[in-house]
Chains A and B, each alone.
Chain A
Amino acid sequence: MVALKKQNQMHDRGKHDELMGELVRSPNLGQELEYLIEIMKQLQSVETQLDKAREKLIMRC
Protein backbone atom coordinates (compact mmCIF):
# COMPACT_ATOMS: atom_id res chain seq x y z
CA MET A 1 0.00 0.00 0.00
CA VAL A 2 2.78 2.42 0.99
CA ALA A 3 4.81 1.41 -2.05
CA LEU A 4 1.81 2.00 -4.31
CA LYS A 5 1.20 5.43 -2.75
CA LYS A 6 4.87 6.33 -3.27
CA GLN A 7 4.70 5.11 -6.86
CA ASN A 8 1.60 7.26 -7.46
CA GLN A 9 3.31 10.29 -5.96
CA MET A 10 6.36 9.79 -8.20
CA HIS A 11 4.08 9.38 -11.21
CA ASP A 12 2.23 12.60 -10.29
CA ARG A 13 5.51 14.44 -9.83
CA GLY A 14 6.73 13.23 -13.24
CA LYS A 15 3.56 14.44 -14.97
CA HIS A 16 3.75 17.75 -13.13
CA ASP A 17 7.39 18.33 -14.12
CA GLU A 18 6.66 17.40 -17.72
CA LEU A 19 3.79 19.90 -17.95
CA MET A 20 5.69 22.66 -16.12
CA GLY A 21 8.61 22.17 -18.51
CA GLU A 22 6.30 22.58 -21.48
CA LEU A 23 4.69 25.69 -20.01
CA VAL A 24 8.12 27.27 -19.43
CA ARG A 25 9.29 26.45 -22.97
CA SER A 26 6.16 27.96 -24.50
CA PRO A 27 4.82 30.92 -22.48
CA ASN A 28 1.68 31.28 -24.62
CA LEU A 29 0.75 27.70 -23.99
CA GLY A 30 -0.34 28.42 -20.42
CA GLN A 31 -2.58 31.26 -21.51
CA GLU A 32 -4.11 29.27 -24.33
CA LEU A 33 -4.60 26.20 -22.17
CA GLU A 34 -6.42 28.49 -19.76
CA TYR A 35 -8.70 29.48 -22.64
CA LEU A 36 -9.30 25.82 -23.49
CA ILE A 37 -10.18 25.05 -19.86
CA GLU A 38 -12.64 27.96 -19.89
CA ILE A 39 -14.31 26.54 -23.01
CA MET A 40 -14.49 23.07 -21.43
CA LYS A 41 -16.13 24.51 -18.32
CA GLN A 42 -18.51 26.54 -20.50
CA LEU A 43 -19.45 23.34 -22.33
CA GLN A 44 -20.08 21.56 -19.05
CA SER A 45 -22.25 24.43 -17.85
CA VAL A 46 -24.36 24.36 -21.05
CA GLU A 47 -24.74 20.58 -20.69
CA THR A 48 -25.93 21.05 -17.08
CA GLN A 49 -28.49 23.62 -18.25
CA LEU A 50 -29.55 21.24 -21.02
CA ASP A 51 -30.09 18.48 -18.49
CA LYS A 52 -32.27 20.79 -16.39
CA ALA A 53 -34.27 21.84 -19.47
CA ARG A 54 -34.83 18.15 -20.31
CA GLU A 55 -36.00 17.46 -16.77
CA LYS A 56 -38.44 20.37 -16.98
CA LEU A 57 -39.82 19.04 -20.25
CA ILE A 58 -40.18 15.49 -18.88
CA MET A 59 -41.98 16.78 -15.79
CA ARG A 60 -44.30 18.81 -17.98
CA CYS A 61 -45.24 16.11 -20.51
Chain B
Amino acid sequence: MHFFNVKKAFKKVGLGIETHQAKQIVQRFDSNFDEELTISDIHDIFKASSESLNQEVDRRTVYSQSTPMSPLSLSKQSLEYVRDVFELILQACCVADKARHTLSKRPQFSIKKAIQVLKQRGSSLLAIKRLASVCETHQLLTGDLIEQVDSADVGLPSSSREESNSL
Protein backbone atom coordinates (compact mmCIF):
# COMPACT_ATOMS: atom_id res chain seq x y z
CA MET B 1 0.00 0.00 0.00
CA HIS B 2 1.46 3.34 -1.12
CA PHE B 3 0.91 6.69 0.52
CA PHE B 4 -1.78 7.55 -2.04
CA ASN B 5 -3.74 4.47 -0.92
CA VAL B 6 -3.41 5.76 2.66
CA LYS B 7 -4.91 9.05 1.48
CA LYS B 8 -7.77 7.12 -0.12
CA ALA B 9 -8.38 5.04 3.02
CA PHE B 10 -8.55 8.18 5.16
CA LYS B 11 -10.86 9.85 2.65
CA LYS B 12 -13.16 6.83 2.81
CA VAL B 13 -13.84 7.55 6.49
CA GLY B 14 -14.23 11.27 5.82
CA LEU B 15 -10.71 12.46 6.66
CA GLY B 16 -9.01 14.48 3.95
CA ILE B 17 -5.25 14.41 4.51
CA GLU B 18 -2.27 16.02 2.80
CA THR B 19 0.35 14.00 0.94
CA HIS B 20 3.03 14.72 3.56
CA GLN B 21 0.70 13.42 6.28
CA ALA B 22 0.02 10.22 4.31
CA LYS B 23 3.79 9.77 3.87
CA GLN B 24 4.32 10.27 7.61
CA ILE B 25 1.75 7.59 8.38
CA VAL B 26 3.45 5.18 5.97
CA GLN B 27 6.80 5.99 7.60
CA ARG B 28 5.45 5.22 11.06
CA PHE B 29 4.14 1.75 10.20
CA ASP B 30 6.52 0.74 7.41
CA SER B 31 8.46 -2.08 9.06
CA ASN B 32 10.84 -2.87 6.19
CA PHE B 33 11.47 0.75 5.10
CA ASP B 34 10.37 0.24 1.49
CA GLU B 35 7.91 3.18 1.67
CA GLU B 36 4.99 0.80 1.33
CA LEU B 37 2.71 -0.82 3.87
CA THR B 38 2.42 -4.58 3.80
CA ILE B 39 -0.68 -6.38 5.09
CA SER B 40 1.16 -7.02 8.33
CA ASP B 41 1.98 -3.26 8.62
CA ILE B 42 -1.71 -2.45 8.10
CA HIS B 43 -2.50 -5.01 10.78
CA ASP B 44 -0.16 -3.10 13.13
CA ILE B 45 -2.16 0.10 12.57
CA PHE B 46 -5.03 -1.52 14.42
CA LYS B 47 -3.01 -3.45 16.98
CA ALA B 48 -3.64 -2.48 20.61
CA SER B 49 -1.10 -2.80 23.41
CA SER B 50 -3.15 -5.54 25.08
CA GLU B 51 -1.64 -8.90 24.13
CA SER B 52 -4.84 -10.87 24.77
CA LEU B 53 -6.84 -8.59 22.47
CA ASN B 54 -4.21 -8.88 19.76
CA GLN B 55 -4.23 -12.66 20.00
CA GLU B 56 -7.96 -12.52 19.44
CA VAL B 57 -7.42 -10.31 16.37
CA ASP B 58 -4.77 -12.74 15.05
CA ARG B 59 -7.16 -15.62 15.60
CA ARG B 60 -9.89 -13.92 13.61
CA THR B 61 -7.70 -12.39 10.90
CA VAL B 62 -6.43 -14.89 8.43
CA TYR B 63 -4.37 -13.21 5.75
CA SER B 64 -1.62 -14.01 3.41
CA GLN B 65 0.95 -11.61 1.94
CA SER B 66 0.45 -13.12 -1.51
CA THR B 67 -3.33 -13.45 -1.61
CA PRO B 68 -5.29 -10.23 -1.99
CA MET B 69 -7.94 -9.67 0.67
CA SER B 70 -11.58 -9.51 -0.29
CA PRO B 71 -13.19 -6.11 0.30
CA LEU B 72 -14.48 -5.66 3.85
CA SER B 73 -17.92 -4.47 4.61
CA LEU B 74 -18.13 -2.57 7.90
CA SER B 75 -21.13 -1.27 9.77
CA LYS B 76 -21.57 2.47 10.25
CA GLN B 77 -20.55 2.16 13.89
CA SER B 78 -17.39 0.18 13.06
CA LEU B 79 -16.47 2.74 10.42
CA GLU B 80 -16.76 5.43 13.07
CA TYR B 81 -14.34 3.49 15.27
CA VAL B 82 -11.93 3.17 12.35
CA ARG B 83 -12.26 6.90 11.83
CA ASP B 84 -11.40 7.50 15.50
CA VAL B 85 -8.26 5.38 15.14
CA PHE B 86 -7.25 7.21 11.94
CA GLU B 87 -7.93 10.59 13.51
CA LEU B 88 -5.74 9.81 16.51
CA ILE B 89 -2.93 8.47 14.29
CA LEU B 90 -3.10 11.77 12.46
CA GLN B 91 -3.06 13.73 15.72
CA ALA B 92 -0.05 11.77 16.95
CA CYS B 93 1.80 12.54 13.70
CA CYS B 94 1.04 16.28 14.15
CA VAL B 95 2.31 16.31 17.74
CA ALA B 96 5.43 14.33 16.76
CA ASP B 97 6.03 16.91 14.02
CA LYS B 98 5.82 19.67 16.62
CA ALA B 99 8.43 17.83 18.72
CA ARG B 100 10.69 17.39 15.67
CA HIS B 101 10.35 21.09 14.85
CA THR B 102 11.24 22.05 18.43
CA LEU B 103 14.23 19.71 18.38
CA SER B 104 15.48 21.11 15.07
CA LYS B 105 15.14 24.74 16.24
CA ARG B 106 17.59 24.15 19.08
CA PRO B 107 20.39 21.75 18.18
CA GLN B 108 21.48 21.50 21.83
CA PHE B 109 18.02 20.16 22.66
CA SER B 110 17.48 16.48 23.00
CA ILE B 111 14.92 14.06 24.33
CA LYS B 112 17.73 12.87 26.62
CA LYS B 113 17.87 16.30 28.34
CA ALA B 114 14.10 16.34 28.71
CA ILE B 115 14.31 12.88 30.26
CA GLN B 116 16.98 14.10 32.67
CA VAL B 117 14.66 16.90 33.78
CA LEU B 118 11.83 14.41 34.32
CA LYS B 119 14.15 12.17 36.29
CA GLN B 120 15.11 15.07 38.55
CA ARG B 121 11.43 15.64 39.21
CA GLY B 122 11.20 12.09 40.49
CA SER B 123 9.57 10.34 37.52
CA SER B 124 9.83 6.57 37.75
CA LEU B 125 11.93 4.47 35.40
CA LEU B 126 8.78 2.79 34.10
CA ALA B 127 7.11 6.13 33.28
CA ILE B 128 10.29 7.35 31.58
CA LYS B 129 10.59 4.11 29.62
CA ARG B 130 7.01 4.50 28.41
CA LEU B 131 7.69 8.06 27.31
CA ALA B 132 10.92 6.98 25.60
CA SER B 133 9.04 4.19 23.83
CA VAL B 134 6.48 6.69 22.46
CA CYS B 135 9.35 8.90 21.26
CA GLU B 136 10.96 5.84 19.67
CA THR B 137 7.72 5.02 17.82
CA HIS B 138 7.89 8.45 16.23
CA GLN B 139 11.64 8.22 15.60
CA LEU B 140 12.37 11.14 17.91
CA LEU B 141 15.27 9.47 19.66
CA THR B 142 18.20 7.38 18.64
CA GLY B 143 18.90 3.74 19.42
CA ASP B 144 21.70 4.47 21.89
CA LEU B 145 19.39 6.57 24.08
CA ILE B 146 16.88 3.71 24.22
CA GLU B 147 19.71 1.46 25.43
CA GLN B 148 20.69 4.10 27.99
CA VAL B 149 17.11 4.32 29.27
CA ASP B 150 17.05 0.52 29.45
CA SER B 151 20.24 0.44 31.46
CA ALA B 152 19.07 3.47 33.50
CA ASP B 153 22.08 5.43 32.25
CA VAL B 154 20.22 8.73 31.87
CA GLY B 155 21.10 9.55 35.44
CA LEU B 156 18.05 8.02 37.04
CA PRO B 157 18.18 8.19 40.82
CA SER B 158 18.12 4.81 42.57
CA SER B 159 14.87 5.73 44.35
CA SER B 160 12.98 6.17 41.07
CA ARG B 161 14.07 2.82 39.66
CA GLU B 162 11.05 1.11 41.07
CA GLU B 163 7.92 0.38 39.09
CA SER B 164 5.45 3.24 39.13
CA ASN B 165 3.39 5.08 36.56
CA SER B 166 3.47 8.72 37.52
CA LEU B 167 5.28 11.25 35.38
Contacts and interface: CB of A to CB of B under 8 A. Distances in A.
Interface of A: 5, 8-9, 11-12, 14-16, 19, 22, 26, 29, 32-37, 39-44, 46-47, 49-51, 53-61
Given A19-B113, A47-B134, A5 B158 contact: yes
B66 interface: no
Interface residues on B, range: 35 or more
Contacts of A14: 155
Nearest to B152: A8
A33 B102 CA distance: 9
A54 B46 contact: yes
Nearest to B99: A39
Interface of B: 46-50, 53-54, 56-57, 60, 74, 77-78, 81-82, 84-85, 88-89, 91-92, 95-96, 98-99, 102-103, 106, 108-109, 111, 113-114, 116-118, 120, 130-131, 134-135, 137-138, 154-158, 167
Contact of B84 (A8, A32, A40, A57): A57
Given A41-B167, A60-B77, A51 B49 contact: yes
A15 B84 contact: no
Contacts of A9: 157-158
A53 B88 contact: yes
Given A43-B95, A50-B88, A55 B106 contact: no
B81 A50 contact: no
